[in-house]
Structure 1
Amino acid sequence: MNIKITGTGSYIPNVITKNADFHQHEFFNTDGSTFPHDNETTIKKFKAITGIEERRYLDKELTTSQMAIIAAEKAIKDSEIDPETLDYIIVAHNYGDVKFQSLQSDTVPSMATRVKYELKIKNPSCVGYDVLFGCPGWIEGMIQAQAFIRCGMAKKCLVIGAEALSRVVDKHDRDAMIFSDGAGAAVVEASEEMGGILCHSSATYSYEEANYIYFGKSNNTESPEDVRYIKMNGRKIYEFALKHVPQAMKSCLDNSGKSIDDLKKVFIHQANEKMDDAIIDRFYKLYEKKAPANVTPMTIRELGNSSVATVPTLLDLVIKGEMKDQALEKGDVVILASVGAGMNINAIVYEY
């Protein structure tokens, strides 16, 4: 028995926020001190490091779960399954539904329950639950789905990654420019066809790394003390990712029975263009190889970092032929990989 993705879907929000839109922001350092240079210089340096030129924010009337529902509907339609036959709905997110200009996160009922409700699924044996695993959450949901199928507890699962980071960013923090919103989904099924998920791996580094990404107060000391925003130690994350992610990807590929020469694409979490390029470069150097051109589809310049949504959205865009010079053919071997809050790392080797 093999476990394959039979349908994908994504939702890319309509609101385009360009780097120039941050020129009027008042940025502060974490200690509340002002930057030594102007915003134009700050934004130019930001672009050089991250590669981000613009990002997508969800419309004011939408929430994370509503984006998840749209992506789910597309994936179900693509797979041509009856949603009543789903055994699990797994939704990866980190902050729940935060309504526009709200200070609270709403997570009850769960995002998965909300998706199931909107899909009008009556079957009580279709179980919905959420995964909070940082940016690698969607891949971890995929790992859990294949485990359910492999042990006979399920035949069909819907795995969604959705996040609205624009609702939890500190506008006085330069790092806020990295984050964006979106949703991606996949239907996973038992299949007699060759291929599918060949191998997977996961790890949590928390002894020293637990608080590299955290919830903290605004960089503006005049902001309310009791409001918290997503925060990160960018330098620590960069060093951590370059040290651990390439080796995790190599271990997963080696255990899959496939070689580096079989690998056609690497779908890596879109966090930072410079960091992702360095991870791929180090990964191939572990095999004494140079990374082939176009091996890594990239959306970060236009879509930013949408956390759990980046990998499934990226995969959907390539499968649907919506990315220039990027495509998958039957039999192609790919890696799905991510790193994020926890600090968590995971990877899947998949034969398309």
Structure 2
Amino acid sequence: MTTSSILGTGAYAPKKLLTNQDLEKMIATTDQWITERTGIKTRHIAAEGETTSDMAVCAARAALAMAETRAEDLDMIIVGTISADMPLPSCAVIIQAKLGARNAFAFDLSAACAGSLYGMSIADQFIRTGKARRVLVIGAELLSRLIDWNDRNTCILFGDGAGAIVMGPCEEPGRGLLSTHLHTDGTTADFLKIPGGGSLHPQSEEVLANKWHKVAMNGREIYKFAIRVLPLALNEALEANGLKPENVSHVIAHQANARIVESVLERVGIPQDKCWMNLDRYGNTSSASLPISLDEANRAGRLQKGDIIAMMAIGAGMAWGSALMRW
């Protein structure tokens, strides 16, 4: 059976850095407080005039170059984002035009921090069924414009960036994306949301006054939920493929909080040093987090042929999942 594999990866982060020391001058917080609770030291902030699609195109071009794939050879573009350039049309169609990927159909998906993992799962189905041979999956977020910079519960966490993956068929038995496992629990939707700007609370003076157009988060509930469901998702992927935690070579994870990643790996029984961590340098880049981490690990030579790569992500919804790949 044809499986899908990763042919190329790419990433982009804006040049401007916002450090914990910078935040100390903006809100009532300290570098020590942020570091101890999140593991974050710096985050990248988009330049004035820079858009989500701009960042996505930079990451995409790097991934296409590695995959030795021309933009016009793409069949499909999937963009995971909750911070598109505009509500309509999708960010994906803007990216398609900027890349010159005239033969690809393109669409956005909204799974927040799990967006890239959801996108990979969709791409995998199209490749396995022969409906597509070259798929570009992008996670891109410009969250600095959706944050209330007076809310220290959220503004310390998020950064801007983009990651991209080019996927295609793999004919070699036992290699490629082995399985993906996606889950949703809509009863937890209030944990992480932007309540204003939609049909429930259309844009208005009231929305702006109450800052309903900004991210609102219950960090404590998210933490408790994440460390409960992510171990189950990782074990689900391992069991589906007849593997055990000791068989995992590397973990590529969405990184929202260092304590979440550490707790999940401890519960599954995977050593911490098997997980590529860059949260300290990027903060939480939502859907961009997983592909940025994958690209860094890939370009560092960390991933070798035959390695078992476990992936996990969780985002607003709550939406979460896992994947297992033989590199």
Contact kept, 8 Å, 1:134 with 1:308, in 2: the verdict is: yes
Q: Alpha-carbon deviation of 1:351?
A: 0.6
Q: Per-residue displacement from partner, 1:246-269 (whole Å, max 9, x unpaired)?
A: 011101111023332221111111
Contact kept, 8 Å, 1:331 with 1:351, in 2: the verdict is: yes
Q: Which residue of 2 aligns with 1:235?
A: 220
The structure in which a higher percent of residues are helix is 2
Contact kept, 8 Å, 2:73 with 2:101, in 1: the verdict is: no
Q: Which residue of 2 aligns with 1:308?
A: 287
Q: Map 1:163-178 onto structure 2 (within 5 A).
A: 163-174=141-152, 175-178=154-157
Q: Which residue of 2 aligns with 1:201?
A: 181
1:189 to 168, 175, 178: 168
Q: Alpha-carbon deviation of 1:293?
A: 4.9
Q: Alpha-carbon deviation of 1:111?
A: 1.0
Residues 139 and 73 from structure 1, CA distance in 2 versus in 1: closer, same or farther, beyond 3 angstroms? same
Q: Which residue of 2 aligns with 1:39?
A: 29
Contact kept, 8 Å, 2:39 with 2:257, in 1: the verdict is: yes
Q: Which residue of 1 aligns with 2:307?
A: 332
Q: Which residue of 1 aligns with 2:201?
A: none
| SS of residue in 2 equivalent to 1:305 | coil
Q: Per-residue displacement from partner, 1:106-131 (whole Å, max 9, x unpaired)?
A: 132211111110111332xx210001
**Aligned: 1:138 with 2:113:** no
Number of matched pairs: 314
Quick one: which amino acid aligns to residue 132 of structure 2?
A
| SS of residue in 1 equivalent to 2:112 | coil
Give the unaligned 5+ runs of structure 1.
27-37, 98-105, 285-290
Q: Map 1:71-220 onto structure 2 (within 5 A).
A: 71-97=59-85, 106-123=86-103, 126-174=104-152, 175-194=154-173, 195-207=175-187, 209-215=188-194
TM-score of the two chains, using structure 1 as the length reference: 0.86
Q: Alpha-carbon deviation of 1:155?
A: 1.3
Contact kept, 8 Å, 1:197 with 1:349, in 2: the verdict is: yes
Residues 293 and 110 from structure 1, CA distance in 2 versus in 1: closer, same or farther, beyond 3 angstroms? closer
Q: Alpha-carbon deviation of 1:226?
A: 5.8
**What CA distance in whole angstroms lies between the structure 2 residues aligned with 1:84 and 1:181?**
27
| SS of residue in 2 equivalent to 1:61 | coil
Contact kept, 8 Å, 2:116 with 2:138, in 1: the verdict is: yes
Residues 156 and 21 from structure 1, CA distance in 2 versus in 1: closer, same or farther, beyond 3 angstroms? same
**What CA distance in whole angstroms lies between the structure 2 residues aligned with 1:230 and 1:293?**
30
Quick one: which amino acid aligns to residue 171 of structure 1?
W
Q: Alpha-carbon deviation of 1:153?
A: 1.2
Contact kept, 8 Å, 1:199 with 1:253, in 2: the verdict is: no
**What CA distance in whole angstroms lies between the structure 2 residues aligned with 1:190 and 1:267?**
21
Quick one: which amino acid aligns to residue 243 of structure 2?
K
**What CA distance in whole angstroms lies between the structure 1 residues aligned with 2:29 and 2:325?**
43
Q: Per-residue displacement from partner, 1:256-289 (whole Å, max 9, x unpaired)?
A: 23332221111111100111111111121xxxxx
Q: Per-residue displacement from partner, 1:302-331 (whole Å, max 9, x unpaired)?
A: 11000000000000011101xxxx711110
| SS of residue in 1 equivalent to 2:190 | coil
1:70 to 39, 50, 58: 58
Q: Which residue of 2 aligns with 1:287?
A: none
Give the unaligned 5+ runs of structure 2.
197-205
Residues 83 and 39 from structure 1, CA distance in 2 versus in 1: closer, same or farther, beyond 3 angstroms? closer
Q: Which residue of 2 aligns with 1:344?
A: 319
| SS of residue in 1 equivalent to 2:62 | helix
Contact kept, 8 Å, 1:266 with 1:335, in 2: the verdict is: yes
Quick one: which amino acid aligns to residue 329 of structure 1?
Q
Residues 293 and 137 from structure 1, CA distance in 2 versus in 1: closer, same or farther, beyond 3 angstroms? closer
Contact kept, 8 Å, 2:265 with 2:271, in 1: the verdict is: no
Quick one: which amino acid aligns to residue 91 of structure 1?
V
Contact kept, 8 Å, 1:136 with 1:308, in 2: the verdict is: yes
Contact kept, 8 Å, 1:165 with 1:181, in 2: the verdict is: yes
**What CA distance in whole angstroms lies between the structure 2 residues aligned with 1:165 and 1:212?**
17
**Where do 4+ consecutive residues of structure 1 move more than 3 Å?**
none
Structure number with bigger Rg: 1
